[in-house]
Chain A
């Protein structure tokens, strides 16, 4: 069974600190990797995509992918209270058709 695993949290960090969110996946044929932010009562919002090993930076966000370890992470620098949300890791893969498997999400709390 294809799985995407995340620590449910909550992960609490002080304002201005680096928040580190982790995700592991079970299927080696996974091809694309995404991080979504979801505020309570809202739909998921795409914040990062990564397709190859290494780091990808976008503003305060850095996604890291290690396909050998089947691991993807998201770093949020200079965390702000507005970053408090649930962060969903998603993996795209071909299983019959192309589809996405979502993790259960990590709840992040940034303390002012």
Chain B
């Protein structure tokens, strides 16, 4: 299994600013994903982070709001831009190996004031 770290673990940001979340995997993974989880709800896929190219975004998520980078196989960043209180959520990154088993980082809890 992959061990995935994220930072920061939590942050409080002001409206209109941006937050960049980093995700590091301890071994090479085939796929990396970014999810959002609202309190008491399930996981919603934001995008697939593609190595060296633009991320693949799900319906309702756009690159201008959620720019993602993945410069190599073990590292990715998600930026949440122009923050509003509706962006308050937990953001999770995950990595998947050859067996398609997906492992999650500990999450980043974002509060927008």
Contacts and interface: CB of A to CB of B under 8 A. Distances in A.
Given A92-B100, A98-B100, A43 B106 contact: yes
Contacts of B45: 99-101
Interface residues of A, number: 22
- A interface, by DSSP: helix, strand, loop or mixed? strand
Contacts of A34: 101-102
Interface residues of B, number: 21
A43 B107 contact: yes
Contacts, number: 48
Q: Most chain-A Cβ atoms within 10 A of its Cβ — which of B92, B96, B99, B102? A: B102
A34 B99 CA distance: 11
Contacts of B41: 104
Contacts of B66: none
B4 to A, nearest CB: 9
Contact of B42 (A88, A92, A98): A88
Interface in B89-106: 92, 96, 99-106
Interface in A77-109: 88, 90, 92, 96-105
Q: Which of A43, A88, A90, A96 has the most CB of B within 10 A?
A: A43
B88 interface: no
Nearest to A1: B59
B56 interface: yes
Nearest to B43: A102
Interface of B: 1, 31, 33, 41-43, 45, 48, 56, 58, 92, 96, 99-107
